[in-house]
């Protein structure tokens, strides 16, 4: 039988949170705090924010290990408060939203408009990097 204190830790998902924090401090933040590494991954993401799957005999374009490490961290973020790409008009207009984390609840949508999905995805990436640096800085 679980003790009351342990049950609270399980409900709060404390082990996951502490592990994620350790992995972020150990593997992600050294990349982002180093000016050269940060510039390199920002440029790489700007040039290819989504990556490309292999097709018609062409090989896939994969991100570097550094960028994959950062993207993996960002994918672990809970849905509540997560930046998402909103397609307003296909191939013409995209906006950034913030998910509520509650199924069926509306997404808060920012006013700024992006002309492509890639531009919107890169803007989201920049916001997430900024948030991480602010949180861990």
* Cβ atoms 51, 75 nearer than 8 A: no
State which residues form the domain around 73.
4-136
* Cβ atoms 60, 52 nearer than 8 A: yes
* Cβ atoms 56, 67 nearer than 8 A: no
> Strand 93-98 vs strand 83-89: parallel, antiparallel, or unpaired?
antiparallel
Rounded Cα–Cα distance for residues 39 and 18 (Å): 28
Overall domain count for the chain: 1
Residue 53, pLDDT score: 72
Rounded Cα–Cα distance for residues 30 and 73 (Å): 13
Q: What is the mean pLDDT of residues 50-73?
A: 86
Tens digits of per-residue pLDDT, 82-111? Answer: 999 999 999 999 999 999 999 999 999 999
* Residues of the chain above pLDDT 90, percent: 75
């Amino acid at each position: 039988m679980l003790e009351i204190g342990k049950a609270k830790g399980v409900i709060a998902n404390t082990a996951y949170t502490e592990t994620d924090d350790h992995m972020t401090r150990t593997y992600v933040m050294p990349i982002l705090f180093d000016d050269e590494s940060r510039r390199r991954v920002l440029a790489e993401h700007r040039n290819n924010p989504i990556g490309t799957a292999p097709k018609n005999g062409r090989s896939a374009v994969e991100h570097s290990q550094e960028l994959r490490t950062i993207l993996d961290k960002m994918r672990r973020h809970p849905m509540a408060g997560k930046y998402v790409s909103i397609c307003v008009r296909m191939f013409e207009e995209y906006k950034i939203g913030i998910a509520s984390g509650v199924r069926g609840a509306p997404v808060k949508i920012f006013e700024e408009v992006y002309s492509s999905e890639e531009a919107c995805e890169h803007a989201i990436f920049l916001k997430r990097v900024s948030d991480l640096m602010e949180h861990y800085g």
